[in-house]
Amino acid sequence: MFDYCYWPEGLEIELNKQLDNFHHQAQLFIDGQVFMALANKILKAQVAGKYFELIILLPKGYRTLENANLFHRITQAGAKVGIIEITVFDEGFEQFAIFDNRLYYSNKRLEGEVDFADLFFKKHQDFESLMESSRLVNSYSQEIKLSFTAEKYFATKGEELSIFWEATNANSNILTPGNKMLDSQGEERITIEEDTFLTITSKNEKSKTSLSIFIKCLEIEHLKFSVSIFNKEIDDYVPIESVSKNNELFAVYLSDVVKIEWVCKPGTTLIESRLGRLNNIGFHNFVCLEKSSLNFEMHYLNTVTSKEVHFYPVSKYSARFEEEENQDIAKQMRKGRKRKEEQPSEKETFLSKVFSLFRLKN
């Protein structure tokens, strides 16, 4: 899901190649020399509908007129550009780029083992902080002013989050995809089902400006678990499957010893409503005497997801009765006695009712 590339030398050459390959959004923290090498490729990518956020380290007076022209063109095409003034170019300073919130390029090597999900989340926060402290480039003194942000930029599939916007000096504001007309200021809740690229375009009589955000959909299986019951005959646990394709529903015999084991993604805080905070790898045994449920909650990065597991106990006597009934039917069929297909069975066991209930619900 996440990739890291290390280029101690010639970073601008590799970034130049990647500008042809990414899909939605590029965030670049680079110095003025690298910017000059990439400027034309950035403009071409903008024509193709790709969105840029650039933070440029720039010594005062460095190619001022040429930079001013490029900044004007790039911001007019919809990019967000911030300038941080420095004394001189420092080759030892880390420069990096994030493409589509999944590919990370840097001229610095990572030390030791790194959780890449945590790395991308932190680097995205670092970039946002640097952008806030930079001097933003404006294309006109009386231009449309537009801000467009999201509550978070990494979300799990199916998660809801808020987007925020504010536009001044604009007669119309349109959100795409969907071509939805927006007020000049507002908040909206959206559900993330896939990687999401959103753009607001604001217009007045003389100008137009656009801002975009990209939200990475994390299709992470936070929690993997298995359920088994203890079999006295073999003195061991036997795995069982859910009776539902869409939900975690398990039918067990009354008084069965049930064992649920789980493995949780590293970096996740796992909590069960009754058991409290749990280790990321663990198990729980219990005797099933009544209908019961386990309610897990997973906290990962800036997201919270949940999963419920339900257990339905079934009487062993009812199950034995059903087995005997099926054996009697088989004997009658061997003797040649015919049963009418349209005639329902007079005795429906409790076990059959439970499984019928599951099928009706799912």
Q: What percent of the chain has a predicted confidence (pLDDT) above 70?
A: 83
- pLDDT-derived band at 358, boundaries 50, 70, 90: very low
281-287 and 269-272: which strand pairing?
A: unpaired
| Mean confidence (pLDDT) of the chain | 83
What mean pLDDT do residues 3-19 have? 82
Decide which of 178, 201, 219 is a domain's last residue: 219
- Pair (177, 242) in one structural domain: no
Answer whether residue 320 shows pLDDT above 80: no
Q: What is the DSSP track for 183-234? A: -SEEEEEEEESS-EEEEEEEE-SS-EEEEEEEEEEE----EEEEEEEEETTT
Of 68-82, 103-117, 166-180, 319-333, the one with minimum mean pLDDT is 319-333
Residue 64 inside a domain? The answer is: yes
User: What percent of the chain clears pLDDT 90, i.e. is strictly above it?
Assistant: 43
Could you tell me the CATH number of the domain that includes residue 80? 3.30.870.10
**pLDDT value of residue 304:** 81
For residues 181 and 310, membership in a common domain is answered with no
Q: Are residues 6 and 129 in the same domain?
A: yes
Question: 124: how many CB neighbours lie within 10 A of its CB?
Answer: 18
Same domain, 133 and 10: yes
Q: What is the pLDDT of residues 274-310, one digit of tens each?
A: 999 999 889 999 999 999 999 999 887 777 888 899 9
Tell how strand 281-287 and strand 292-300 pair up: unpaired
Q: Which of 166, 153, 157 is nearest to 198 (CA)?
A: 153
Say yes or no: 287 and 332 in one domain. Answer: no
Last residue of a domain, one of 202, 219, 236: 219
Mean pLDDT in residue range 315-329: 54
User: What pLDDT is recorded for position 87?
Assistant: 86
**144 within domain boundaries:** no
How many domains, the chain? 4
pLDDT at 144 over 70: yes
Q: How confident is the model at residue 2 (pLDDT cuts 50, 70, 90)?
A: low
**Helix residue ranges, H only, the chain:** 11-18, 32-47, 64-76, 116-133, 316-334, 350-361
Say if residue 170 is in the same domain as residue 295: no
- Per-residue model confidence (pLDDT) at position 336: 52
Residue ending a domain, among 174, 198, 219, is 219
Predicted confidence at residue 208, as pLDDT, reads 86
Specify whether 275 is located in the same domain as 262: yes
| φ/ψ (deg, to 5) at 51 | -110, 140
Q: Which domain holds residue 202?
A: 149-219
Query: Has residue 347 got a pLDDT over 50?
Result: no
Residue 325 lies in a domain: yes
In a domain, 4, yes or no: yes
Is the residue at 78 inside a domain?
A: yes
Q: Which CATH number does the domain housing residue 173 bear?
A: 2.60.40.10
Say whether pLDDT at 42 is over 90.
yes
Q: Reading across the β-sheet that carries 172-176, which strands appear in turn?
A: 154-156, 208-218, 196-203, 172-176, 180-181
More confident residue, 61 or 296: 296
Predicted pLDDT at 84: 94
6 and 133 share a domain? yes
Q: Is residue 202 part of a domain?
A: yes
